[in-house]
Chain A
């Protein structure tokens, strides 16, 4: 555990010092979104990587958080600090209610059910025009303010978002190393075996699904107050798939893997922009290569690559 804390401290220092490199540039703006996507990838990873339950509808929870925060602040004049927890609570209740029937399903059926859930939420955003503004979106969402400081620039937002992200990272590491984390992995490997040793798999799955939705909702609220605008297109099926890709590319069952996956998938398109019309091909090609040669994700693949490069002959086996 002490080693984990040291690792986290190093990560936190890295995150806090990073803006010094990009003072003012637009990459700061992209790094804000890396933070949001890291939260989302961790949320999905808790469900998929630890508990082994797939969700293709996480963009829906993300969107619900964003819209609830947006509507409560714009239409009802709430303070963002009130709107965020209320949104998270509401999304948590919804996820808990839906979780019971949905998580009885397994494999492809669970994938289909969560996919459907995501699409239904997306349609609601589009069709309830009086409430959400419909397809052309909801604008004028206020920035978050704290003790006289309004988070209205990229640098300020960076520290706000990453403050939350680091909290989620720390919480998730603790969770993964606790009794609950071990129970989750047991459910992942064999639900029957887990139940035999006294894990209430059914309740546990609903709990982790709810937690995952709450973190996603929080990320959504932060997104809304950073962008000051939300529209349904950002919370569609494509984004659910992108989140899934982040988790798989980064490394299933690894909190830092989620960060690597989110960082890569958010930053890569920005760097490939120089390749103009070929960027999509290169992007797709790179993802394919990574899945083929780093099946454990970046978090395991990169160290393995280093060992191979720098310790010829003796590398493999010493994990």
Chain B
């Protein structure tokens, strides 16, 4: 009896040891995306992209002979679930790094877990408070809202349209945009003459727009994700408002043009470069990555890749770059991520440092305009 137990223990120990010695064991990466629920428009392309990129890396033989293994869970956009699943990824699946979650709320909920367990987290959500103040283990790939606001204000300042009306959606994205719109206005000499919000499920915004029509606004800035902004664009047409309409990067996908139809014409918005990849000059450092991502996504999923998927593309590729520099543990991964400079991805050119875990400059956004149902770059 005893003999059997001992021999079993030996066998088990031998197995464990051999697993350790076996150098080509895959590197486990965790992913938390809101694939279902209200934020599915973010989570689905993100998960698809992450899967696609990891498969491709593995097909090409992995990174320095080590394959990646992606363990992906659906958070349904729920903060409680995100925390549970982050704990599961770290404690049960023993991942070395986590990609996601998709929304700022979930990310803020997961941050204490990642910090305590000392696992690097590369968030795919935009809220600037994720990396400001800086947290040792937390990085992000989605562009800060502040950069998008800066792009619009810069343009308005140049064109001397300094009285603006803002109309923001009452969810995390809109609240963060509103905060930035108000915070940066003084710096650009912009005066907010009207400040209104609408609900994420509202189907008519004529009330707010009528109020704006009566104001001194020279430009309307709307901050939201589909379908609200499309409704606003249509309402602006219906009311015959001639004031130029600006949107956020939250609607920089073909979906917005489809939803708003004719009313989308002439709308300007800051966008990641992914929607105008083929219009970029050859000298743009991101062009190669952008075209590769768009082609791959089209081949795999028969639909256009958007910048949400791009956030996951960047996160996986940043991890790849960190592994290439020899990281296979959580702490080495974190240190190597911090050393990445000039990585041309989808969201922009990333340069992380010990003081900056967001890594993007204002060149991450271009101002685009809808013309003939397509995007053109505004000079």
Q: Evaluate contact between B175 and A134: CB separation under 8 angstroms.
A: yes
Report the Cα distance A18→B197, complex, angstroms. Answer: 49
Contact pick for B80, options A127, A228, A234, A270, CB 8 Å: A234
Which residues of chain A are within 8 angstroms of B258 by Cβ–Cβ distance?
Answer: none
Which residues of chain B are within 8 angstroms of A53 by Cβ–Cβ distance?
Answer: none
Q: Shortest beta-carbon distance, A88 to chain B, in Å?
A: 21
Q: Evaluate contact between A227 and B109: CB separation under 8 angstroms.
A: yes
Most buried by B among A129, A139, A231: A231
Q: Does A229 contact B (CB under 8 A)?
A: yes
Q: Does B171 contact A (CB under 8 A)?
A: yes
A33 in contact with B87 given A135-B105, A135-B175 (CB within 8 Å): no
- Residue of B at shortest CB range from A276? B74
We find that the number of chain A residues with CB closer than 8 angstroms to chain B is 26
Which residues of chain B are within 8 angstroms of A231 by Cβ–Cβ distance?
Answer: 79, 105, 108-109, 172
Q: Does B104 contact A (CB under 8 A)?
A: yes
What are the interface flags for A129-141 relative to B under an 8 Å C-beta threshold, 1 for contact and 0 otherwise?
A: 1000011110100
Report the Cα distance A165→B116, complex, angstroms. Answer: 26
Report the Cα distance A154→B109, complex, angstroms. Answer: 15
Q: Does A24 contact B (CB under 8 A)?
A: yes
Q: Evaluate contact between A26 and B84: CB separation under 8 angstroms.
A: yes
Contact pick for A26, options B87, B105, B179, CB 8 Å: B87
Contact pick for B176, options A30, A127, A136, CB 8 Å: A136
Which residues of chain A are within 8 angstroms of B127 by Cβ–Cβ distance?
Answer: 136
CB within 8 Å of B: which A42-82 residues: none
Report the Cα distance A127→B175, complex, angstroms. Answer: 9
CB within 8 Å of A: which B178-224 residues: 179, 197
Q: Shortest beta-carbon distance, A227 to chain B, in Å?
A: 6
Number of A-B contacts (CB under 8 A): 80
Q: Shortest beta-carbon distance, A91 to chain B, in Å?
A: 20
Report the Cα distance A270→B88, complex, angstroms. Answer: 10
Report the Cα distance A33→B109, complex, angstroms. Answer: 15
What are the interface flags for B154-175 relative to A under an 8 Å C-beta threshold, 1 for contact and 0 otherwise?
A: 0000000000000000111111
Q: Shortest beta-carbon distance, B69 to chain A, in Å?
A: 16
Q: Does B78 contact A (CB under 8 A)?
A: yes
Which residues of chain B are within 8 angstroms of A273 by Cβ–Cβ distance?
Answer: 73
Which residues of chain A are within 8 angstroms of B109 by Cβ–Cβ distance?
Answer: 137, 139, 227, 229, 231
Report the Cα distance A251→B179, complex, angstroms. Answer: 47
Q: Does B111 contact A (CB under 8 A)?
A: yes
Q: Evaluate contact between B116 and A26: CB separation under 8 angstroms.
A: no
Q: Evaluate contact between B170 and A227: CB separation under 8 angstroms.
A: no
What are the interface flags for A233-275 relative to B under an 8 Å C-beta threshold, 1 for contact and 0 otherwise?
A: 1100000000000000000000000000000000000100100
- 10 residue pairs bridging A and B, Cβ less than 8 Å apart: A26-B90, A26-B91, A33-B80, A33-B84, A137-B105, A227-B80, A227-B109, A229-B108, A231-B172, A233-B78
Residues on A close to B: CB < 8 A? 24-26, 29-30, 33, 126-127, 129, 134-137, 139, 152, 154, 227-231, 233-234, 270, 273, 280
